[in-house]
Amino acid sequence: MLHRLFDNLGNLHVSKASLTASKYKIRGELRKMGFLSAGSPLDKVQCILEFRWSGLAGYMGWYFSSDQNIHIPTFCIAAMLPNGEKRILADVLRHEYGHALEGKYWKFFHCKEFRDVFGKPYGTSKSLDTNANHYVSTYAMTCSQEDFAETFMYYIKYKGKVPLKWSDNRAIRIKWLFINDLCVKITLQNGGS
């Protein structure tokens, strides 16, 4: 119940308790997957509850590069994607931690490998690949950083295992492999084995 606090219109209400519970759950997932360790750059990212409305439909959270923290509004108008898919708070945090990874491990995102896998440099609009089947969500089609963050969200949610619905999808499997390799690189950079 703490993770699904929707009213009958699909609006999301976030309390301090629900954010704290979701944050610990997601940080645990990130730790198990190898993206987060004590003292690592990602460990310094805080989840801050903003006591206000999001102001934009579907705008459920954001990562600020200026303060390097994730911000979540207490009330999100129609907390769903344009295709009507609702998001639980845990999914929002998984997605925003994907953006935080870029902020903390910049060199792994601003490279040829990222451009080859996601079709454009990090942070640029999508224009070449308009095949919806090559993306995990409609939102992922908007730009390269959202494509990464959406794919990362599902990667963490499904514990690195490609769900059956995408198992034969080469484009998504390549993105999945990029994230898997990213985990190895981050683990090595953080002194892990």
Task: Give residue-wise pLDDT tens across range 64-96.
Answer: 778 899 998 887 654 555 555 667 789 989 999
Mean pLDDT of the chain: 85
Instruction: Between 74 and 12, name the one with better pLDDT.
Output: 74
Cα–Cα distance measured from residue 75 to residue 79, given in angstroms and rounded to the nearest whole number? 9
Question: Could you tell me the pTM of the whole model?
Answer: 0.88
> Hunting for tokens 């519970």 — which residue is that?
21
Cα–Cα distance measured from residue 190 to residue 186, given in angstroms and rounded to the nearest whole number? 6
pLDDT at 3: 41
> Hunting for tokens 């484009």 — which residue is that?
171
CA-based end-to-end distance of the chain:
37
Report which DSSP code applies to 161.
Answer: P
pLDDT above 50 for 165: yes
Beta-carbon contacts of residue 147 (< 8 Å; ≥ 6 apart): 118, 119, 126, 135, 140, 141, 175
Q: What is the mean pLDDT of residues 138-158?
A: 94
148 touches 109 (CB < 8 A) = yes
pLDDT at 173: 97
pLDDT above 60 for 11: no
pLDDT at 169: 96
Report which DSSP code applies to 57.
Answer: T
Q: Where are the domains of the chain?
A: 12-189
